[in-house]
Amino acid sequence: MFEQRIYNFSAGPSMLPVPVLQKCADEMLNYQGSGMSVMEMSHRSKVYDEIIVQAEALFREVMQIPDNYKVLFLQGGASTQFAMVPMNLLRTGKADYVVTGQFSKKAYQEAKKIGSDIHLAGSTESTNFDHVPTQEELDLRPDADYVHICLNNTIFGTKWHYIPDTGNVPLVADMSSCILSEPFDVSKFGLIYAGAQKNIAPAGLTVVIIREDLAGFTLPGTPTMLDYAVQIKNSSMYNTPPCYPIYVCKLVLEWIKELGGLEAMKERNQKKAAILYNVLDESKLFRAVAAPVDRSMMNVTFRTGNEELDAKFVKESVAAGFSNLKGHRSVGGMRASIYNAMPLEGVEKLAVFMKDFEARNL
Amino acid sequence: MFEQRIYNFSAGPSMLPVPVLQKCADEMLNYQGSGMSVMEMSHRSKVYDEIIVQAEALFREVMQIPDNYKVLFLQGGASTQFAMVPMNLLRTGKADYVVTGQFSKKAYQEAKKIGSDIHLAGSTESTNFDHVPTQEELDLRPDADYVHICLNNTIFGTKWHYIPDTGNVPLVADMSSCILSEPFDVSKFGLIYAGAQKNIAPAGLTVVIIREDLAGFTLPGTPTMLDYAVQIKNSSMYNTPPCYPIYVCKLVLEWIKELGGLEAMKERNQKKAAILYNVLDESKLFRAVAAPVDRSMMNVTFRTGNEELDAKFVKESVAAGFSNLKGHRSVGGMRASIYNAMPLEGVEKLAVFMKDFEARNL
Q: What is the pLDDT of residues A214-243, one digit of tens each?
A: 999 999 999 999 999 999 999 999 999 999
- Quick one: average pLDDT of A125-138? 98
Rounded CA-CA distance A120/A98 in Å is 6
Q: Is B292 exposed, middle or buried (0-12, 13-18, 19+ CB in 10 A)?
A: exposed
B43 and B83 in a single domain? The answer is: yes
Question: Letter for the amino acid at A266?
Answer: K
- At B181, is the secondary structure helix, strand, or coil? coil
CB contact under 8 A, B35 and A82: no
| Of A170, A111, A112, A103, residue with least CA distance to A140 | A170
CB A82 within 8 A of CB A105: no
- At B345, is the secondary structure helix, strand, or coil? helix
CB contact under 8 A, A204 and B8: no
In a domain, B60, yes or no: yes
Whether the pLDDT of residue A1 is over 80: the answer is no
Crossing angle (nearest 10°) for helices B18-26 and A18-26: 160
**Model confidence at B1, in pLDDT bands (50, 70, 90)?**
confident
CB contact under 8 A, A35 and B195: no
Q: Which 8-state DSSP code applies to residue A311?
A: H
Number of domains in chain A: 2
Write out pLDDT tens, residues B326-344: 999 999 999 999 999 999 9
Crossing angle (nearest 10°) for helices B261-282 and B46-63: 60
B235 and B354 in a single domain? The answer is: no
CA dist list (Å): A332 to A303, A310, A353, B20: 8, 9, 20, 39
In a domain, A2, yes or no: no
Write out pLDDT tens, residues B174-184: 999 999 999 99
A166 and A309 in a single domain? The answer is: no
B192 and B284 in a single domain? The answer is: no
Q: Which of B39, B90, B197, B314 to mutate to test the interface with A (most CBs of A within 10 A)?
A: B39
Between positions 162 and 221 of B, the ones with CB within 8 A of A are: 195, 197, 202-205, 219, 221
A84 and A219 in a single domain? The answer is: yes
Residue B168, Cβ neighbours under 10 Å: how many?
Answer: 6
Rounded CA-CA distance A297/B27 in Å is 31
Q: Which 8-state DSSP code applies to residue B322?
A: E
Measured in angstroms, the CA of A284 and the nearest CA of chain B are apart by 31
Name A355's Cβ contacts closer than 8 Å, sequence gap at least 6. A279
- Give me the total of CB pairs closer than 8 Å, taking one residue from chain A and one from chain B: 235
Name A67's Cβ contacts closer than 8 Å, sequence gap at least 6. none
CB B14 within 8 A of CB B341: yes
Among candidates B79, B197, B224 on the partner chain, residue whose Cβ is nearest the Cβ of A225: B79
Go through B24-48 and write b for each residue having 16 or more CB atoms within 10 A of its CB, e for each that does not. Answer: bbebbbbbeebbbbbbbbbbebebb
User: Which residues of B fall within a CB distance of 8 Å from A202?
Assistant: 39-40, 243-244
CB A206 within 8 A of CB A78: yes
Q: Is B109 exposed, middle or buried (0-12, 13-18, 19+ CB in 10 A)?
A: middle
CB A193 within 8 A of CB A206: yes
Closest residue, chain B, to A238 (C-alpha): B79
pLDDT at position B2: 84
Q: Which of B218, B239, B258 is the last residue of a domain?
A: B258
pLDDT at position B61: 98
Rounded CA-CA distance A71/A231 in Å is 10
Whether the pLDDT of residue A3 is over 90: the answer is no
Average pLDDT value for chain A: 97
- At A41, is the secondary structure helix, strand, or coil? coil
Q: Which of A233, A258, A283 is the last residue of a domain?
A: A258
Measured in angstroms, the CA of A355 and the nearest CA of chain B are apart by 24
Write out pLDDT tens, residues B204-254: 999 999 999 999 999 999 999 999 999 999 999 999 999 999 999 999 999
In a domain, A8, yes or no: no
- At A305, is the secondary structure helix, strand, or coil? coil
- Quick one: average pLDDT of A187-199? 98
pLDDT at position B347: 98
Between positions 33 and 72 of B, the ones with CB within 8 A of A are: 33-37, 39-43, 45
In a domain, A65, yes or no: yes
Question: Letter for the amino acid at B241?
Answer: P
In this structure, what CATH number is given to the domain that contains residue A158? 3.40.640.10
A143 and A60 in a single domain? The answer is: yes
pLDDT at position A207: 98
Torsion sign over Cα B179, B180, B184, B190: positive
A296 and A354 in a single domain? The answer is: yes
CB contact under 8 A, B75 and A204: yes
Write out pLDDT tens, residues B29-86: 999 999 999 999 999 999 999 999 999 999 999 999 999 999 999 999 999 999 999 9
Rounded CA-CA distance A303/A331 in Å is 9
In this structure, what CATH number is given to the domain that contains residue A314? 3.90.1150.10
| Of B219, B257, B224, residue with least CA distance to B20 | B257
CB contact under 8 A, A42 and B114: no
Between positions 305 and 344 of A, the ones with CB within 8 A of B are: 321, 323-324
- At B111, is the secondary structure helix, strand, or coil? helix
**Model confidence at A131, in pLDDT bands (50, 70, 90)?**
very high
Cα A95 from chain centre:
22
Rounded CA-CA distance B300/B327 in Å is 10
| Of A318, A328, A331, residue with least CA distance to A357 | A318
| Backbone torsion region of residue B39, taken as left when φ is above 0, otherwise alpha when ψ lies between -120 and 50, otherwise beta | alpha
Write out pLDDT tens, residues A284-307: 999 999 999 999 999 999 999 999
B268 and B236 in a single domain? The answer is: no
pLDDT at position A272: 98
CA dist list (Å): B84 to A208, B90, B218, B221, B313: 22, 10, 9, 12, 41
CB contact under 8 A, B239 and A77: yes
**Model confidence at A351, in pLDDT bands (50, 70, 90)?**
very high
Q: Which of B197, B224, B258 is the last residue of a domain?
A: B258
Which domain, by its residues, includes A95? 22-258
What is the model's pTM?
0.98
Whether the pLDDT of residue B346 is over 90: the answer is yes
Rounded CA-CA distance B339/B171 in Å is 24
Average pLDDT value for chain B: 97
Question: Letter for the amino acid at A334?
Answer: M
B163 and B75 in a single domain? The answer is: yes
B269 and B238 in a single domain? The answer is: no
In a domain, B3, yes or no: no
In a domain, B37, yes or no: yes
A271 and A245 in a single domain? The answer is: no
Question: Letter for the amino acid at A61?
Answer: E
Task: Report the alpha-carbon angle A242-A172-B222, nearest 5.
Answer: 60
In a domain, A233, yes or no: yes
Rounded CA-CA distance B197/B65 in Å is 21
Rounded CA-CA distance A31/A23 in Å is 10
Name B177's Cβ contacts closer than 8 Å, sequence gap at least 6. B11, B12, B152, B153, B154, B198, B199, B296, B298, B299, B337, B339
Between positions 123 and 162 of B, the ones with CB within 8 A of A are: none
CB contact under 8 A, A84 and B223: yes
CB contact under 8 A, A21 and B10: no
In a domain, B26, yes or no: yes
Measured in angstroms, the CA of B188 and the nearest CA of chain A are apart by 28
| Backbone torsion region of residue B261, taken as left when φ is above 0, otherwise alpha when ψ lies between -120 and 50, otherwise beta | left
Rounded CA-CA distance A20/A201 in Å is 10
| Of A78, A346, A245, residue with least CA distance to B36 | A346
Question: Letter for the amino acid at A320?
Answer: A
Rounded CA-CA distance A300/A346 in Å is 14
- Quick one: average pLDDT of A86-105? 98
Phi, psi for B152 (deg, rounded to 5):
-135, 130
B50 and B63 in a single domain? The answer is: yes
Measured in angstroms, the CA of A169 and the nearest CA of chain B are apart by 24
pLDDT at position B76: 98
User: Which residues of B fall within a CB distance of 8 Å from A205?
Assistant: 204
Among candidates A11, A83, A244 on the partner chain, residue whose Cβ is nearest the Cβ of B225: A83
Question: Letter for the amino acid at A148?
Answer: H
- Quick one: average pLDDT of B4-26? 97
| ipTM summary value | 0.98
User: Which residues of A fall within a CB distance of 8 Å from B241?
Assistant: 203-204
Q: Which 8-state DSSP code applies to residue A51?
A: H
DSSP string, B201-216: SSSS-EEEEEEGGG-S
Whether the pLDDT of residue A171 is over 90: the answer is yes
Torsion sign over Cα B310, B315, B321, B325: positive
Q: Which of A7, A75, A252 to mutate to test the interface with B (most CBs of B within 10 A)?
A: A75
